[in-house]
Chain A
């Protein structure tokens, strides 16, 4: 199959998932509900006020996580590097967990305090890694990787501490939130998350060539004309804004960010000018697919989507790896 055909397959497959997902659920919906977005009957309300926003949130979240993964894998030159593994998601989670523990429900500039806390946590984690790159310019990518991994453990231990000292009910709420899920994703959640993800992805897309060069090594990239320090800074900030926004809305959902870029690389090659948008489309559709499975697997109850992502994704990824 040619690369063009694979791109077409990806786009058509993603579109099919996005159209089908809102129609699937514990309550079957007639197709005519689609035609009437402002309708007042139950079917139209379920479709347009609950399921469609949730699908959009899933798509945005998956796209943001996948693009964040692609960026970190290139910058750290490591196939396992993702914002999730390098403490960015843990930083964001810590922010949200801390707000949940304190129990503040203040809204600032239209965003809930937990969104700001997630953003602050993500930026804090990235700022620490960034400082390592500035204080030790000669630090290798494996040093950065180690710094990120220890940050992940650091924030995870803070989260554990918050949970341990919380009341039973609060601890459970934090735990449930840490599993990740789109259950609370309504229209306002979509509107809160969208700017972070859209701006983050737009910035990252402008750096496709730089990411290609960074995978050949920071020094060679610099020699070829990339302003490495500035590029890394912009990419780190854009990614952490993106991840902060996603984590605030859906919790730390793992695996999507690591596996989506790899699957797209296997299908379409490593060039980032194609890989980044492809990862966004694949990651978005993949998370929507997993969320749909999470909604119907034990209906009328729901599974946390984090349970599904790796359960569906890991065997598929293993199959792709072995097939090559």
Chain B
């Protein structure tokens, strides 16, 4: 099912939680609503489920206008951050509960619940109570319960944030697998960019109630529309160098270095931020270079080594090449690749 929202707005009193938000969620895709806390992603999710009434705007499920449809008639399944399992019911009863409400005969609904349990791999835990399960298992049960009534849309609210790091990795792949096996259109809310990047068909990035950019994860990473998007995605975070455009060159704030830029939109004298992905910098000891820098600190991270460098009085994070050894305090030369280097307007944050 395709979900379409048009000019969706939500206000709590005077506070605007979601502002004029329009977009399409394509059929059968796994889409992440990503953003820092308070960006309106959960509010959007709650409006899609019908828990929250909208202030203005429209929500369509395929061609049905469901803006004012009560939650139970929308055909959505939802998983909450705390899983919301009913503590007094067994796993099987929990999963079967939505069908119990629909007055599906007992045999039938239990059979369906067992099938769902198998799908999410909790079929050996059917008689347990929620408090006897691990966080990951509870999450699986919650997903099974959300899926049992074959919803048109599956909503996951921060599904992984209550799990520890290892389980999180495991569960995010599970969510991907289950979503692909069932083919249900899925929207999941998260504040963790890595989570969103790793499993989603599409990411919708929000901030302060406004849509920032929606794209495939790689596109979002490779082609951010503004500084916020560039900063939010990627680990280590993108480097920000502050400077101005002078004579077709980017000049560092303190004037200590400059680089020729090939961007027709860059206006002379404009204050800009140069965003540079860590992997877009090559480091060497000699030869042609864009910048000179001094190594300030080094961090070994197993397979690679990361360093903080000073360029003038600004700091940049880069990967060290394993061809040489570098010492702290040593002067090195940096070259920028074409890819992964962006210019943004300092004032508006927009990409130039």
Q: Do A and B come from the same complex?
A: no
